[in-house]
Amino acid sequence: MNAAFPPYQQGTDNFTSRGSPMIDPFGRSVNYLRVSVTDRCDFRCTYCMAENMQFLPKKDLLTLEELERVCSAFIVKGVRKIRLTGGEPLVRKNIMLLVRQLGKRIGFGLDELTLTTNGSQLARHADELYDCGVRRINVSLDTLDPEKFTKVTRWGELAKVMEGIDAALKAGIHVKLNAIALKDFNDIEIPDLLRFAHRCGMDLTLIETMPMGEIDEDRTDRYLPLSKLRADLEKDFTLTDTGHRTGGPARYVRVEETGGRLGFITPMTHNFCESCNRVRLTCTGTLFMCLGQNDAADLRAAVRASSDDGLLSAAIDEAITRKPKGHDFVIDRTHDKPTVARHMSVTGG
């Protein structure tokens, strides 16, 4: 047993109760927490990070125990789904200890624990993830071409990610692939990605690039509206709208020719904020109430000020009163500054 985490006894603490949902000023209930467990990553995807990224000093990070404490406070407040993300969540040291602890809350307040990963470390963690109660994960995969994969991730190796996907599927975990749509890079490959995903029983979700953080290139050069991609796909495939939802912002269609599902996440061309149910915690304990805004709450101060959860609970309540109506992402061709200064790896995708 790990000394840092005391054994969890179901039914003997306040975590077994499911709180009533937190309601924001616009009447939306907040029941989904995304947690970026590290800002570090073993890839340097060109649309996400600069090659020489400066990462946070380790002393600024919440410990795994502190992260669990914050997650627990959210579960008590009615959060039913937690997604661990990053940076790359599976490169955080001892991350499986946190996964195991949170997995014990499934059925006791929490409905689902999921993960968004680049897949590089998945082969060695897949069985344990399943054992901890993880049943669905998102794997980011923008291309099936090994050379292009290394080009876009700078440091990644496609074969390792494919091994990871295979291991996850064999472990019994549902895998959804996420691909960023990049003009003149993977647009012509999307039909292949779609066929591959559906052949293996995986959904595929396409995402528009968002202007977050300084990178080494101009994002507007690669920006591809999904409305254009959808129109192109409709030349070869019959796409039927469905009401399917997974708690995230994707809108899904059924692809009649493959029988699989295809999702679209369109923060730039179609604002999905009206149904937003989530908040995002960074690895330093900063809570962002919106991916596309800078306002935030410092939960680390509340965690470290007292071992009693009263302060933390009050800080979360106060933060929820500041959840904004929506984001203001714009593709700005006149300024070279991103709309949001922090990188996606700070708050996770």
Q: Which residues of 14-41 are buried (b: 16+ CB within 10 A; e: fewer)?
A: ebeebbeebebeeebebbbbbbbbbbbb
User: Helix and strand tally (H, E) in the chain?
Assistant: 11, 14
45 binds ligand SF4 (CB under 6 A): yes
178 binds ligand SF4 (CB under 6 A): no
- Binding pattern to ligand SAM, positions 148-187, x when CB under 6 A? ------------------------------x-x-------
- Please pick, from the candidates 209, 266, 282, 293, the single residue that binds ligand SAM as defined by CB under 6 A: 209
Specify the residue, 283 or 316, whose C-beta has the smaller distance to ligand SAM: 283
- x-marked contacts with ligand SF4 along 86-125 as a string, rule CB under 6 A: xxx-----------------------------x-------
Residue 85 interacts, among ligand SF4, ligand SAM, none and using kind-specific CB cut-offs from 5 to 8 Å, with ligand SAM
Q: Smaller CB distance to ligand SAM: residue 221 or 308?
A: 221
| CB closer to ligand SF4 out of 49 and 64 | 49
Strand partners, 223: 182
Restricted to residues 225-254, the positions that interact with ligand SAM (CB under 6 A) are none
Asked if 347 interacts with ligand SF4 (CB under 6 A), we say no
- Among the candidate windows 1-9, 36-44, 270-278, 288-296, which touches ligand SF4 by CB under 6 A? 36-44
Cβ neighbours of residue 283 under 8 Å, at least 6 residues apart?
A: 36, 37, 38, 39, 56, 61, 62, 67, 86, 87, 92
For residue 21, what is the enclosing H or E element? none
Shortest distance in whole angstroms from residue 216 CB to ligand SF4: 12
| 266 contact, one of ligand SF4, ligand SAM, none, CB 5-8 Å limit per kind | none
Q: Is 345 an interacting residue with respect to ligand SF4 (CB under 6 A)?
A: yes
Q: Tell me if 37 contacts ligand SF4 by CB under 6 A.
A: no
Tell me how far apart the terminal alpha carbons of the chain are, to the nearest angstrom. Answer: 32
Give the residue with the Cβ less far from ligand SAM, 114 or 116: 116
Residues in the chain: 349
Q: Residue 76's closest CA among 32, 9, 15? A: 15
Which residues, numbered 55-114, are part of the site for ligand SAM (CB under 6 A)? 85-86, 88
Amino acid at 316: I
Long-range Cβ contact pairs of 153-158 (< 8 A, separation 24 or more): 153/43, 153/44, 153/45, 153/118, 154/43, 154/44, 154/45, 154/46, 154/51, 155/42, 155/43, 155/44, 156/42, 156/43, 156/45, 156/118, 156/120, 157/120
Tokens of 176: 């959804």
Considering only residues 7 through 46, tell me which ones interact with ligand SAM, judged by CB under 6 A: 41
Which amino acid makes up residue 59? K
Strand, helix or coil for residue 295: coil
**Is residue 73 within a helix (H) or strand (E), and if so which, with residue range?**
helix 64-76
Instruction: Mark the segment that binds ligand SF4 (CB under 6 A) among 25-33, 84-92, 167-175, 317-325.
Output: 84-92
Q: Which stretch binds ligand SF4 (CB under 6 A): 80-88, 128-136, 187-195, 326-334?
A: 80-88
Of 30, 37, 48, 296, which lies in the binding site for ligand SAM, with binding defined by CB under 6 A? 48
Reading the block at residue 81, the tokens are 């789904």
Q: What are phi and psi of 40, to 5 degrees?
A: -80, 160
Q: How far is the CB of 61 from ligand SAM (least distance, A)?
A: 16
Q: Which residues bind ligand SAM (CB under 6 A)?
A: 41, 47-48, 85-86, 88, 116-118, 140, 178, 180, 207, 209-210, 212, 344-345, 348-349
